[in-house]
Structure 1
Amino acid sequence: MDSVTDASSTNPYEPSVTSGPDYSPSDEQSWWRRPAGGREVLTMALPLVISSLSWTVMTFVDRVLLAQQSGDAMTAAFAAGTVWFSTLCLPLGIAMYTSTFVSQYFGAGRNDRIGVAVWQGVWLALAVSPFLLMAIPMAPALFRLAGHSDSITELELIYFQILCWGGPPMVVAQALASFYSGRGKTSVVMVVDTSVAVLNLALDWIWIFGYLGFPAMGIAGAAWATVVSIWIKALIYAILVLQRKHQIEFGTLAGMRFDWPLFIRQIYYGGPSGLQLVLDVLGFTVFIVLTGRLGNIEAEATTMAFSVSTLAFMPVWGFGMAATILVGQHLGENREHLAARATWTSLVFALGYMATISLTYLAVPDLYLVPFFAGDRAADTHAAVRALAITLLQFVAAYNLLDATLMIFSSAIKGAGDTQFVLRVSVVMAISLSVLSWMAVEWLKLGVFGCWTLITLWVWVMGVVFLWRFLGGKWRTMRVIEQTPPDLSGTTLETEPALP
């Protein structure tokens, strides 16, 4: 299908909607009320923003509580948690991409395909679970390569090996959550994720410090609190998805079967999305590990700055998820102009949020840093870490707007199925970040400010690249679902769109 163009459009990349089969008088309403306008995007995105913030606040408070014990515990939790997440990125990215299939099927009115699409993500999670657990015995050799101090390495091992038990349910929960997020029922995702985050924080308080009769377990208690909460989240989503009304309308029980053609299609499109997540997180992980070699103060300040920056990043992740879902739904309806409009509207919200949060980083950085110093800390270390962290937050403020641009446009083209391009860019950029980080630390000896200048430039380049790809418009002709109802009893893919 060719994308619609109109030379008279005020925006050359958003086609006119004043004529043609997609035209509706409602398209001429205000920016807020029109289709794919402010109200539609915010209704979709706000629950996802709150859901993302719940995870962010959970991990943020987790590190704050550990910082009250020691800076080493906080640093170890951040580094080990980042490595753990990197082991999940491939299957988690594919499971997350299930929402794109759900959104396009939903937009196309193919409710009978939604249940089976969700379960292909679950079967993937179960298939990779043994491999996720294999990271436990491999952890000692992995963390010794980082070259961190013995005290930090010991804490990293404890935290990482416990977290590994939460990997399988994490992927299962993400696949099941796509049943709701892909259909735009994001308030359900918000309620579940927020409730689980509150549970996690309560368990953190009890198990880290030893309240209500439990022993004080420190960093191990923080890890077990996360694992227990993730298992409970997976169970909640399973119960919700298998409600009888969903079995009838969306085939959530009948679809609990392995569908080879659909499974392959989800791997084909979701695999690059997962690999992109792997590469992006891997690049950041290498950056964090190498920065940790500069010294404990540099490592601790970097941990604080990245922890605080997630307060900006994760809500924009919610807007990015909304862009993915809305692009998928509107492309499923074959209304590319609304998919484009939803993307631009999402960008407006994301940039507005990022600009506001960046100003607070510059004006009142202690608003975010004070909680890290609530414990009994040496005064000289306190002052040195605080001063460096304040400077690093200025770097975060410098790249935040391009980070929002990167997130929104990469999410939009993934919602269409343009995941191969996303993967190619991520391969080049992740390798570049890793190699340049090593050169900055080990060869050029640029120090912590040189490393942070590098990460800032890296984000700027990524933002520009994905903006360019979106403006190119190739995503408009893409679909991840079959265009005509297929005979899925066999393995032929003849009714599917050509794979790009």
Structure 2
Amino acid sequence: MSIVKRWSAKGGYKEALDIGLPLVVSMLSNTVMTFTDRIFLGNYSMDTLGASLPASIAAFLFLSFFMGVAEYLGVFVAQYTGALQPEKVGRSMWQGIWFSIPSGLFLASLWFIAEPLFALGGHPAAIQELEIVYFRILTIGSAPFLLGICLSCFFSGRGITKPIMIVSIASTLINIPLDYCLINGIGPFPELGIVGAGLATLFSFTVPVICYAWLIFTSANEEEYCVRSAWRFDGSLMKRFLRFGLPGGVQFFLDIFAITFFVFMVGRLGPIELASTNAVFSIYTLAFLPTIGLHISTSIMVGQAMGDKNPDGAAYATKSVLHIALAYMTVMALLFVVFPEFLLNLFRARGETGHLFDDVVVMGILLMRYAAIFTLIDAVAIIYVGGLKGAGDTRFTMLIMGSAALFCMVIPLLILNIVGVKGVQGPWMCLMLYVSVLAVSFMWRFRKGPWRRIEVIEFSPSMK
């Protein structure tokens, strides 16, 4: 089908962009927030920059399982919307809330394992101390973060994504100046360094919860979606939610675990290798997080099509989003190749330690070439896994993610460490192999089509 026809067709480019662009903007705002946070920390000192990525990835590692489960609520909302069962939307949202509250409390308790956890990383003592305090603050913010995800699914699952964009932008506009002031001690704020960055992030997790609650629990939404009256725990719906959501959570956890393990192993190579990898990963978020917005858009469109018993429409929508994602990632890959030095120098530390960043830039330019190729392959993996999740094929994605993490990342990286390979290119080649296996596997599975027969929600007799 021509580009013109695909633009206006159901599940075409226009619909994908209508749903996806606000999510992309939302993710971009989160990217800007994370990116500026790293720049502020890099300008503050190389130690805070070196500590920020391992600590934030470790916190996200533990959060990722619960996040992967909570965000699967969006598929239930999408499928109930496609099946014309709006009264089930509010009930689904509340099951996500009941899942998120105890999950957040558990994650906050990780405060007590921070010291032994980062001792395993083997990083210098000064960096370990910064990693511990940053990790502890981030884990406290897990509960509001998970609640924000659940509440946002009320909008995203129905394909109404502009409120999510507005809330994300508002949170970012508050976070960035607060982040800068708390790190550097501007005005009435004390100079807190990496502690200030953590506190600003904690505040940015809380703002969306308040905004979403104000937008959702209205009389109009209660009348159509039962957002107030359906607050009770529903064992049958929770069981179905966990049946599909838990594998999705495990899959997401395994992916983050593989990246976390990669970062910690690179950290053992030396401070230059760690700082250059941290900087390149931070730059890569400019490509990665907006594509996650398209990933969510894929799950929404596939979920609504499957709720309408239209698997062909789900496949068509997935292909439309893939075209958009590859176009975006191609642009980002070119930027990584053409302007690597400019992007890396954004992280240059101020003052006397600034000259130490020269070696980081030299190594980072090489790694940016890897990142450019990585972005294109990752786009395929991200979009196809979104399609599979939207259709409920979460067990397959979990198994593939676990196998790839073990055989492409963990075992090869351990072997490189045991035999004493010191170069940074070895670990990065393992990372490239990992994402390539994911891309090929998910694309093959989606095109093969067993997901077409999966039923995530219960259908009314008239739709059987």
Coarse TM-score class (shorter-chain normalised): over 0.9
TM-score, with structure 1 as normaliser: 0.90
Verify: 1:344 aligned to 2:319, yes or no: yes
Verify: 1:458 aligned to 2:457, yes or no: no
Residues in 1 aligned to 2:164 and 2:300: alpha-carbon distance in whole angstroms: 14
Displacement of 1:72 after TM fit? 1.0
Displacement of 1:413 after TM fit? 0.7
Aligned partner (choices 453, 456, 460) of residue 477 of structure 1: 453
TM-score, with structure 2 as normaliser: 0.97
SS at match of 1:197: helix
Residues in 1 aligned to 2:4 and 2:21: alpha-carbon distance in whole angstroms: 22
Structure 1 residues 434 and 28, CA gap change in structure 2 (3 angstroms): closer
Verify: 1:87 aligned to 2:62, yes or no: yes
Aligned partner (choices 297, 311, 329) of residue 286 of structure 2: 311
* Aligned counterpart, 1:282: 257
Displacement of 1:320 after TM fit? 0.7
Aligned partner (choices 28, 31, 51) of residue 56 of structure 1: 31
Question: 1:291·1:441 contact (CA, 8 Å) conserved in 2?
Answer: no
* Aligned counterpart, 1:147: 122
- Equivalent residues in 2 for 1:15-414, closer than 5 Å: 30-373=5-348, 375-378=350-353, 380-414=355-389
Displacement of 1:54 after TM fit? 1.1
SS at match of 1:31: helix
Displacement of 1:129 after TM fit? 2.5
Deviations 1:355-388 (A, max 9, x none): 1110111111133222111622546522110011
* Aligned counterpart, 1:420: 395
Q: Aligned AA for 2:447? A: L
SS at match of 2:116: helix
Verify: 1:436 aligned to 2:421, yes or no: no
Displacement of 1:443 after TM fit? 2.3
Stretches of structure 2 that go unaligned for 5 or more consecutive residues are: none
* Aligned counterpart, 1:5: none
Residues in 1 aligned to 2:212 and 2:230: alpha-carbon distance in whole angstroms: 16
Q: Which region of structure 1 is more displaced relative to structure 2, 425-434 or 221-230?
A: 425-434
Residues in 1 aligned to 2:50 and 2:290: alpha-carbon distance in whole angstroms: 23
Question: 2:92·2:237 contact (CA, 8 Å) conserved in 1?
Answer: yes
Structure 1 residues 28 and 441, CA gap change in structure 2 (3 angstroms): closer
Identity of counterpart residues, as a percentage? 36
Residues in 2 aligned to 1:53 and 1:467: alpha-carbon distance in whole angstroms: 26
Deviations 1:100-122 (A, max 9, x none): 00000001110000001011011
CA RMSD of aligned residues (A): 1.7
Residues in 1 aligned to 2:4 and 2:436: alpha-carbon distance in whole angstroms: 35
Larger % of helix: which? Answer: 2
SS at match of 1:32: helix
Deviations 1:71-112 (A, max 9, x none): 110111111000001111111111100000000000111000
Residues in 2 aligned to 1:226 and 1:362: alpha-carbon distance in whole angstroms: 31
Structure 1 residues 371 and 380, CA gap change in structure 2 (3 angstroms): closer
Question: 2:349·2:357 contact (CA, 8 Å) conserved in 1?
Answer: no
Residues in 1 aligned to 2:341 and 2:359: alpha-carbon distance in whole angstroms: 14
Displacement of 1:460 after TM fit? 1.1
Displacement of 1:485 after TM fit? 6.7
Displacement of 1:453 after TM fit? 1.2
Residues in 2 aligned to 1:429 and 1:261: alpha-carbon distance in whole angstroms: 33
SS at match of 1:30: helix
Residues in 1 aligned to 2:362 and 2:395: alpha-carbon distance in whole angstroms: 42
Residues in 2 aligned to 1:124 and 1:212: alpha-carbon distance in whole angstroms: 40
Residues in 2 aligned to 1:243 and 1:434: alpha-carbon distance in whole angstroms: 48
Displacement of 1:444 after TM fit? 4.7
Q: Aligned AA for 2:302? A: V
Residues in 1 aligned to 2:22 and 2:283: alpha-carbon distance in whole angstroms: 21
Question: 1:403·1:463 contact (CA, 8 Å) conserved in 2?
Answer: yes
Residues in 2 aligned to 1:80 and 1:480: alpha-carbon distance in whole angstroms: 36
SS at match of 1:482: coil
Deviations 1:376-402 (A, max 9, x none): 254652211001111101001122111
Structure 1 residues 365 and 184, CA gap change in structure 2 (3 angstroms): same
